[in-house]
Amino acid sequence: LRTALRHVAEVGGHVVVDLSRVHIIDSTGLGLLVRAHRDARERGVTLCLAAPSRFIRTVLHTMRLDGAFPIFDSRDHALAELSDGGGRPLPEGHAVAVPR
């Protein structure tokens, strides 16, 4: 996951991490997201989370990280908000780059 997130951020564009199939997160996963968020920010890229479960939202809130990431109810909503309006389809996956 770390390699995929780093690659997407390096390619350019904003990053959407689709969590729709992820129901729980541990400290390792949370650490990866925080590190990816920091790396993306250093590159001028936005890393956001799409469709986190109630458990993941609770963990983010408890760790006071819910304000660090833009959070969207769905991948489509995140892509619509971050896209350049080109409306081009993006590949399926858990981390995708959205052109700036």
Residue 2's pLDDT band (cuts 50, 70, 90): confident
Residue 14's pLDDT band (cuts 50, 70, 90): confident
Task: Give the global pTM.
Answer: 0.78
Read off the pLDDT of residues 18-71 as tens digits, 9 standing for 90 and up.
999 999 999 999 999 999 999 888 888 889 999 999 999 999 999 999 999 999
- 2-98 is a CATH 3.30.750.24 domain: yes
Helix (H, G, I), strand (E, B) or coil at 87: coil
Q: What is the pLDDT of residue 10?
A: 77
Domain-wise residue ranges, the chain? 2-98
Q: Buried b / exposed e across 79-98, counting CB within 10 Å, b at 16+?
A: beebbeeeeeeeeeebbbbb
